[in-house]
């Protein structure tokens, strides 16, 4: 039986990644390279759809980009000058090939392919309404709702149909859409999910992160604004539409903490530099006497560098990570499963023994990873183990395209910091404050009204309505009331 690595089941999953290119001779090959750079955003499945001027071609597969799109015959089967792709970690819908994106449909106006990063928070309600009106769904993905809304819209042009669909959905989305007329890229009105635009010669490129531009040799042009639709026609004309008017941006703050690659630029800032600043602020707020600052690899490295520089405590690699272990491996029993932890991370005993150490990680979700890491340090002979976290306590679930556990399974929801410290068996535990996190991002503090970022996983301040979630709560309350009546 295959099961997830113990160190992978205690992280906030990275949503998805999208990449699209128009007007180039090697579109699908460029998309495959771009998806390689975005692989960290989704490891379950990948897909590419191309347009050759006459028809669409699609290849979708479970697993990583490598192995599925690094073969010449696969790329040759995806001809055309425009293509879009997607790497997936499922947040809505089961893990199966029918949910792998880009999703494709033949509409009255022609072919329609869509790649989506995010989560539609009223998809269940819309799906029920569409099914009642006769729509037949082929997947369980919330993305397919957009296709049906476009198909059933009463507006005349495809652009108006698409805008009509977007105005009916709630939640977070970055979308790349391909039609016979060209490519459309857009973000939700709050800009919760990221999307950037680049240029490669005469070709226009869209991607979830700028690192994908670096890999294919493209230049970063700008960020797609919240609520903006950018259209690239087959003739190369670029038009911008803003159907939502003025919006108050609330991009996801966790892109800076964990999701984006450190070599990306997000909202105009270097992710690596921001994470170092977070670590420095963490040291200012939560100092401790220690011999070494040690990151939990790899996500804790930039913050640990910042913490070490601010505190003047030496930075050392006290945990060595194997880069040759995938996300899954065979574990025939609990004992072997426990031993399997060290396949991915192992303590640098010669460094740690007898020393006071500060462990730096990006977050604590369930707490199981932190518990195992602290235990590993103890077994390696550490005299003291202090844990410092480069984000505030994660107390709330995300409904915007990040796969978080149910709130009741979040350690920070169940326990206060003292209780969390006891749970992971650390000598001390501390988190950066919410205002400290904003300060590291260049803000004076978190605004009380209309905060600068979506930080709902820390604060519970959700920037949109959560129709489906509210419906579930009401349903549960009605069922409980019915049981009491009986």
Active-site residue set: 16
| Cα 438 to Cα 285: distance, rounded to the nearest angstrom | 13
> Are residues 45 and 33 in contact, defined by beta-carbon separation less than 8 angstroms?
no
What SS3 state is found at 449? coil
Q: Establish whether the linkage from the previous residue to 280 is cis, with ω within 30° of 0.
A: no
| Cα 47 to Cα 65: distance, rounded to the nearest angstrom | 8
| Cα 276 to Cα 272: distance, rounded to the nearest angstrom | 6
> Nearest 10 degrees: CA dihedral of 239, 243, 246, 250?
-90
User: Residue by residue, what is the 3-state secondary structure of 378-415?
Assistant: HHCCCCEEEEEECCCCCCCCCCCCCCCCCHHHCHHHHC
Backbone phi, psi, residue 271, to 5°: -60, -40
> Nearest 10 degrees: CA dihedral of 186, 189, 195, 201?
50
| Cα 444 to Cα 347: distance, rounded to the nearest angstrom | 38
| Cα 312 to Cα 293: distance, rounded to the nearest angstrom | 9
> Are residues 80 and 57 in contact, defined by beta-carbon separation less than 8 angstroms?
yes
Residue 471's Cβ-count burial label (10 Å; 0-12, 13-18, 19+) is: middle
Pairing of strands 219-223, 196-200: antiparallel
Nearest to 360 by CA among 339, 385, 330: 385
**Cα-based angle 62, 135, 103 (whole degrees, multiple of 5):** 25
């Amino acid at each position: 039986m295959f099961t997830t690595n113990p160190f992978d089941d205690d992280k906030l999953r990275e949503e998805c990644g999208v990449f699209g290119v128009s007007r180039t001779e090697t579109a699908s090959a460029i998309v495959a390279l771009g998806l390689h750079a975005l692989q960290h955003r989704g490891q379950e499945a990948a897909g590419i759809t191309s347009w050759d001027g006459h028809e669409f071609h699609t290849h979708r597969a479970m697993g990583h980009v490598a192995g599925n799109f690094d073969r010449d015959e696969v790329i040759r089967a995806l001809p055309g000058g425009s293509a879009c792709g997607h790497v997936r970690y499922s947040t809505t819908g089961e893990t199966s090939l029918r949910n792998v994106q880009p999703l494709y449909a033949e509409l009255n106006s022609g072919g329609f392919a869509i790649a989506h990063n995010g989560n539609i928070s009223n998809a269940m309600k819309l799906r029920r309404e569409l099914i009642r009106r006769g729509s037949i769904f082929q997947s369980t993905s919330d993305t397919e709702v957009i296709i049906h809304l476009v198909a059933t819209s009463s507006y005349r042009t495809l652009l108006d149909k698409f805008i009509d669909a977007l105005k009916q959905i709630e939640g977070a989305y970055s979308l790349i859409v391909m039609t016979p007329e060209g490519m459309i890229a857009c973000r939700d009105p709050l800009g919760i999910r990221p999307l950037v635009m680049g240029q490669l010669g005469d070709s226009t490129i869209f991607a979830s992160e700028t690192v994908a531009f670096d890999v294919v040799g493209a230049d970063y042009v700008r960020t797609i604004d919240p609520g903006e639709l950018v259209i690239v026609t087959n003739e190369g004309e670029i038009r911008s539409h803003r159907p939502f008017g003025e919006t108050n941006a609330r991009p996801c703050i966790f892109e800076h903490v964990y999701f984006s690659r450190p070599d990306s630029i997000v909202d105009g800032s270097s992710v690596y530099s921001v994470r170092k600043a977070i670590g420095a602020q963490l040291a200012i707020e939560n100092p401790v006497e220690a011999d070494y600052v040690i990151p939990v690899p790899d996500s804790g490295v930039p913050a640990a560098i910042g913490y070490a520089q601010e505190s003047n405590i030496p930075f050392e690699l006290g945990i060595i990570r194997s880069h040759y272990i995938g996300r899954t491996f065979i574990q025939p029993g609990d004992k072997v499963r426990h031993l399997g932890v060290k396949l991915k991370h192992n303590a640098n005993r010669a460094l740690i023994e007898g020393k006071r150490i500060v462990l730096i990680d990006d977050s604590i979700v369930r707490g199981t990873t932190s518990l195992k890491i602290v235990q590993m340090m103890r077994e390696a002979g550490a005299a003291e183990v202090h844990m410092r976290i480069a984000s505030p306590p994660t107390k709330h679930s995300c409904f915007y395209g990040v796969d978080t556990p149910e709130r009741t399974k979040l350690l920070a929801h169940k326990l206060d910091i003292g209780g969390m410290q006891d749970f992971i068996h650390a000598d001390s535990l501390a988190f950066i404050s919410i205002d400290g996190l904003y300060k590291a991002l260049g803000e004076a503090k978190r605004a009380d009204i209309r905060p600068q970022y979506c930080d709902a996983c820390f604060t519970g301040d959700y920037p949109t309505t959560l129709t489906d979630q509210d419906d579930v709560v009401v349903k549960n309350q009605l069922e409980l009331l019915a049981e009491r009546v009986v």
